[in-house]
Amino acid sequence: MMASVPKLVVMGVSGCGKSLVGSLLAQALAVPFFDADSYHSRANVEKMASGIPLTDDDRAGWLADLASLIQNQDSGLVLACSALKRTYRERLRAENPQLRIVYLRGDFQTIWARLSRREDHYFNGQAMLESQFQLLQEPEPDEGAITLDVTDRPESLVRQCLAVLTATGEDARG
């Protein structure tokens, strides 16, 4: 018997494809998609737009809001969220133990090439991406993350993720 529709966090540094892959996954699973960027405070957005990396204190309220969002969503969801540190992922999982992590892994050069072509986004500059890579704690095996290579096409990443969910007995709808 299939488990309930999963709650997924698609994580990684800015520019790795969280929003695109996350929205495609949500569509395939027939669940709502949320982008964590939409839940940042005005102060956080202004700080990032100025090229200033966020601190753990800056992120605390944001993570609490996201954990509540996950908990209150009954029918599964996909959330695009950087979730760079293990402690951030643990905070999101605190009231949501069944939460699955999908990690979009890529190297600095690949992701910087993507970000440098972006327009109309508050993420500002190579230094901010460097700070995200410095902050990044890749998921450990005990976190059970689904790790995907960002150089694959988004549709392929979705298929790979759905295959893992199906293999682990979660409802992959597709």
Model confidence pLDDT, tens digit, residues 123-135: 556 777 888 899 9
Q: Which residue type is seen at 42?
A: R
Model confidence pLDDT, tens digit, residues 12-71: 998 899 999 999 999 999 999 999 999 999 999 888 778 777 889 999 999 999 999 999
The whole-number average pLDDT for the span 68-94 is 95
Q: Is the pLDDT of residue 120 over 60?
A: no
CA distance 162 to 10: 13
pTM reported for the whole predicted model: 0.90
Looking at residue 119, its pLDDT comes to 60
Looking at residue 2, its pLDDT comes to 41
Q: Is the pLDDT of residue 171 over 70?
A: no
CA distance 143 to 99: 10
Q: Is the pLDDT of residue 79 over 90?
A: yes
Model confidence pLDDT, tens digit, residues 127-165: 778 888 999 999 999 999 999 999 999 999 999 999 999
CA-angle at 162, arms to 5 and 76, nearest 5°: 20
CB-CB contact of 11 with 79 (8 Å): no
Q: pLDDT class for 1, splitting at 50, 70, 90?
A: very low
Structural domains of the chain in order of their starting residue, each with its CATH number: 7-167 (3.40.50.300)
CA distance 47 to 123: 10
Looking at residue 60, its pLDDT comes to 94
